Amino acid sequence: MKDRNLEALRREHKSKFKARNTSSVKNQRERGGAALEQTKEEARKEKRGEKQFGVKTGWKSNSLRARKKGNVKFLVGALVSLVLLSIALLLFYRFLSNMSTRDRSIDQISWESSQENIASAYVADSSSSEWEASEQQESASSSSSADKEPENMTWTFEDILALHVSSPEQGASEQLSPTAEEIAERYGKASSGSVAKDGEEKALYLFYLSSGGGQIVKLYFNLIGDQYRLNTIRGEGLLSQSQSSHSDLWTEEDFQDFTVDKSAPSKNLQAVLERFGVPQVINKSADYKNQTTVYIKYKLKDGRYLYLEFVLSPTGDYELTRKSVY
């Protein structure tokens, strides 16, 4: 009886275990099949997605290439336009420059032509026979025309000192220097002359030269208002009406008493002239402050030059301010 019950329990337990295993395998199969189907579905979706993505990517690539080509064409066109515009502007600038240069040239030629007429008004006519004697005069005269000084060389050392000079900055209320017209009326027409233009500043040069070339007077005029007025005058080899003639036998030691020393008694120009006579060179000018300066040069025995510079003082004397030898 007992053995029969154990056998029954064993069969019952075996049948339950078999049923449980069968159910578990079935469930596993069902779950495996579902998972497999899901995997296959995902694979199919991915495949469809890749195909769709591939078609879309190809469209974007073609569009991008077309856009790049368009941008390149635009850049090339813009560059060509810029180059053409630059060339056009350059040609236009050159055209304007040529026109401006042409206008300046015309103005310069016109100005120079007018100034040549101004300068010629103060210069003796070189084509005239003023200094040429006729055959009858040559036979009647014992001296040739080459030995005569031209009539326009009437300058003396005292004339240089006496003439007033002024600068363009001089006020209208101050004493003005003589004009070129007044100089020509008093001393005759010059041997030569010219007009110069430096920016806005205009100047007139007149030169007086003796027939032998030993005496020279150079005058420099500034255009003040509408008249050329004397600014600088220089004389070389001029004679004096009252002083002794210049000599080249002086030495540097002869001038040792004339020093630029404020503690020493002032040495003026008149004292130098009384002791050493007329110098080889005298120059008188007015600076931008309208201060009048005179310098003279003596040729020394050793061939050098002694340079003395004087400034016009409020008392009317020319006081020594500089001394050098070169």
pLDDT tens-digit profile of 260-278? 876 666 688 999 999 999 9
On whether residue 228 sits in a domain, the answer given is yes
Question: Please, which pLDDT band fits residue 98 given cuts at 50, 70 and 90?
Answer: low
Report the pLDDT averaged over residues 47-67. 58
- Structural tokens at position 287: 């600076």
- Are 297 and 248 contacting, i.e. CB atoms less than 8 angstroms apart? no
- The one-letter code for the residue type at 226 is D
Report the pLDDT averaged over residues 302-326. 93
Higher pLDDT, 244 or 309: 309
Question: Please, which pLDDT band fits residue 138 given cuts at 50, 70 and 90?
Answer: very low
Q: Give the structural domain span for 262.
A: 148-325
On whether residue 240 sits in a domain, the answer given is yes
**Integer Cα distance of 177 and 232 in angstroms:** 10
On whether residue 169 sits in a domain, the answer given is yes
CA angle 291, 296, 301 (to 5 degrees): 160
Number of CB atoms found within 10 A of residue 206's CB: 25
Question: Please, which pLDDT band fits residue 171 given cuts at 50, 70 and 90?
Answer: low
Give the pLDDT confidence score for residue 187 in this predicted structure: 92
On whether residue 41 sits in a domain, the answer given is no
Q: Is residue 104 pLDDT above 50, yes or no?
A: no
Nearest to 238 by CA among 310, 158, 306, 305: 158
Q: Is residue 103 pLDDT above 90, yes or no?
A: no
On whether residue 183 sits in a domain, the answer given is yes
On whether residue 310 sits in a domain, the answer given is yes
**Integer Cα distance of 318 and 44 in angstroms:** 120
Give the pLDDT confidence score for residue 141 in this predicted structure: 33
The total number of structural domains that make up the chain = 1
On whether residue 138 sits in a domain, the answer given is no
Chain segment 16-36, per-residue pLDDT in tens: 655 555 555 555 566 656 666
On whether residue 214 sits in a domain, the answer given is yes
